[in-house]
């Protein structure tokens, strides 16, 4: 066999081996893509079923009375959940007013004024991560011991708002911290270069640039807080009446669902399904707002 023939044979073998490897990679990619798609489908099936079940049971109860009237007494008919809708908005608003300033200021300190990796900011981040993993019922018991137990102010909308603020803080701190970090360092240098102080740079340049991403974290925290039940059972309790001040017990959608779903009366069960649907719609609305905020350029 000539040298030319041997070279041709080796070239053919190399091309054949390369084609086989390429074919194997393509087959592997197809199989893994199919498995990923199957996993996505399996993850979406429970979500779709839950949403369908809630819509199917709660949609028929959506009417004007639902948003304007109070719940009926046990065994009664009709009525609405106006007190729970308003109460949820009030409690979440209180928690937002408390948690957002504290969370954003903490994130500013961590991102802009913290020291090196061995300084206290690392311990603060560690504590925030631990707080994010604390069960919500523990936050409720904690606030119960501080604000509710005998000898203290008692069950109130304020206590419920404080409990939810504890749960919202980790999400706000972490997202705000990351939002401030992704603002380009050149923007800070430019502000400092024209004579701005460190505080002026942070408050007038860096923070406004990070507002869209911070807003995303706030809306996600609100979405989580709106659906919490256990902390509110220990702090805000429940009230069959309309809002009567932040120092009084208050009705919320999550606790209303918990209370009414197990009652043997059809009217209360229907209201529980309607409240579940409204909760889902509220969370969906906040998620849409968060998604819209992420579309805005951070800097």
Mean pLDDT of 288-299: 65
Q: Same domain, yes or no, for 127 and 147?
A: yes
Q: Same domain, yes or no, for 40 and 83?
A: no
Other C-beta atoms lying within 10 Å of the C-beta of residue 265: 15
The closest alpha carbon to 82, from 68, 64, 63, belongs to 68
> DSSP for 126-177?
HHHHHHHTS-HHHHHHHHIIIIISTTS--S-HHHHHHHHHHHHHHHHHHHHH
> pLDDT at residue 200 above 90?
no
Average pLDDT, the chain: 85
Q: What is the per-residue pLDDT across 209-256, written as a single tens digit (0 to 9) for each?
A: 888 888 888 988 998 888 899 999 999 999 989 998 899 999 999 999
The domain in which residue 40 lies consists of 3-61
Helix %, strand %, coil % of the chain (to 5): 75, 0, 25
H/E stretch holding 277 reads helix 266-294
Per the domain annotation, does 29 fall within a domain?
A: yes
Q: Which of the pair, 186 or 118, is modelled with greater confidence?
A: 186
Q: Which of the pair, 92 or 194, is modelled with greater confidence?
A: 92
The closest alpha carbon to 71, from 257, 287, 284, belongs to 257
Instruction: Tally the domains of the chain.
Output: 2
Band of pLDDT at residue 296, cut at 50, 70 and 90: low
Band of pLDDT at residue 18, cut at 50, 70 and 90: low
Q: Same domain, yes or no, for 17 and 100?
A: no
Q: Same domain, yes or no, for 154 and 262?
A: yes
- Contact predicate 267/252, CB 8 Å: no
Token readout for 108 is 């500013």
> pLDDT at residue 261 above 70?
yes
- Residue at which a domain ends, from 61, 79, 107: 61
Q: Same domain, yes or no, for 97 and 187?
A: yes
């Amino acid at each position: 066999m000539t040298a030319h023939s041997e070279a041709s044979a080796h070239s053919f073998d190399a091309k054949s081996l390369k084609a086989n490897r390429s074919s194997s990679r393509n087959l592997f990619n197809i199989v893994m893509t199919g498995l990923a798609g199957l996993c996505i489908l399996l993850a979406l099936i429970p979500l779709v079923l839950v949403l369908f079940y809630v819509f199917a049971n709660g949609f028929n109860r959506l009417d004007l009375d639902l948003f304007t009237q109070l719940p009926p007494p046990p065994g009664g008919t009709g009525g609405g959940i106006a007190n729970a809708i308003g109460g949820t908005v009030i409690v979440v608003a209180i928690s937002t007013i408390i948690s957002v300033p504290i969370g954003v200021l903490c994130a500013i300190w961590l991102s802009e004024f913290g020291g090196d990796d061995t300084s206290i900011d690392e311990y603060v981040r560690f504590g925030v991560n631990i707080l994010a993993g604390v069960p919500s019922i523990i936050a409720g018991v904690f606030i119960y011991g501080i604000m509710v137990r005998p000898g203290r102010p008692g069950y109130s909308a304020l206590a419920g708002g404080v409990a939810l603020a504890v749960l919202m803080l980790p999400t706000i701190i972490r997202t705000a911290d990351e939002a401030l970090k992704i603002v380009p360092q050149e923007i800070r240098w430019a502000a400092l270069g024209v004579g701005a102080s460190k505080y002026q740079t942070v408050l007038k340049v860096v923070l406004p640039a990070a507002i869209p991403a911070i807003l995303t974290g706030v809306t996600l925290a609100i979405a989580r807080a709106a659906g919490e039940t256990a902390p509110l059972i220990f702090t805000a309790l429940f009230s069959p009446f309309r809002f009567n001040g932040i120092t009084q017990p208050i009705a919320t959608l999550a606790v209303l669902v918990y209370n009414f779903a197990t009652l043997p009366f059809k009217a209360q069960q229907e209201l529980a399904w309607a409240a579940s649907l409204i909760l889902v719609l509220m969370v969906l609305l906040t998620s849409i707002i968060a998604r819209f905020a992420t579309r805005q350029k951070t800097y």
